[in-house]
Amino acid sequence: MAKKKFSKNWVHQHINDPYVKQAQQKGYRARAAFKLTELLDTEKLLRKGDVVVDLGAAPGSWSQVARERLVGPGGEIQGRIIALDMLPMEPIAGVEFLQGDFRDDAVLQQLEDLLDGARVDLVISDMAPNLSGVSSADSARIQHVCELALEFACAHLKPEGALIVKAFHGSGFSQIVERFKRHFVRVVERKPKASRDKSSETFLVARGLKN
């Protein structure tokens, strides 16, 4: 009974969520688009000509935002967006999509082949592992996903490039932040307005690779 009530509440909140309505109006595939928009605006990131890698991209709202910012006056993409996810994703014009598990070396190799030695300006990751409700196991999974994004960014970013990663407050969070600070000159925590108050999610924005 409680579960049914919870799902009813969720549906009610979702229908009345202003960001859900705005996403529908603007044609975004998820309300998460507004989280990235605010992060990019606050940090003054993503300019025409940039190379962007979107990890955990499905359903595609972050790639949609990136595309909007790279589209030239003639409708062509000025720059490059490579998106990756385990789940299938409906095509987005000008976005190169790779389906596969980011934790799989063969998939990582495919991504590297696509980049063909090009350095990346911005890595964005809205990846979240499937959570079990067991906090120790979940924090380890979250840490692992963040570390994968960090390792990829360290290997492929331009020296002045940036990394945006979704993390969650709780056990292991401070260790994730420390790990990021070891590799980047500037690491800040951001909670965009579109991030629900009840959610423990927070975004780490890391800029300037250390040598």
* Residues of the binding site for S-adenosyl-L-methionine: 60, 62, 85, 101, 126
Backbone phi, then psi, for 108, in 5-degree steps?
Answer: -60, -40
What whole-number distance in Å separates Cα of residue 56 and Cα of residue 188? 21
Active site residue 158: no
How does strand 201-209 pair with strand 184-190? antiparallel
Token duo for residue 20: 């859900």
- What stretch of H or E contains 51? strand 51-55
Question: Cα separation of 33 and 170, whole Å?
Answer: 24
Quote the CA–CA distance of 118 and 81 in Å, as a whole number.
Answer: 12
Residues whose CB is less than 8 angstroms from the CB of residue 179 and which lie 6 or more positions away in sequence, other chains included: 146, 147, 150
Identify the active-site residue in 8, 26, 35, 166: 166
Q: Tokens in use for 121?
A: 């300006």
Token couple for 109: 């190799």
Question: Which residue numbers belong to the known binding site?
Answer: 60, 62, 85, 101, 126
Residue 200, C-beta contacts closer than 8 angstroms, at least 6 positions apart: 168, 169, 170
Residues identified as active-site: 166
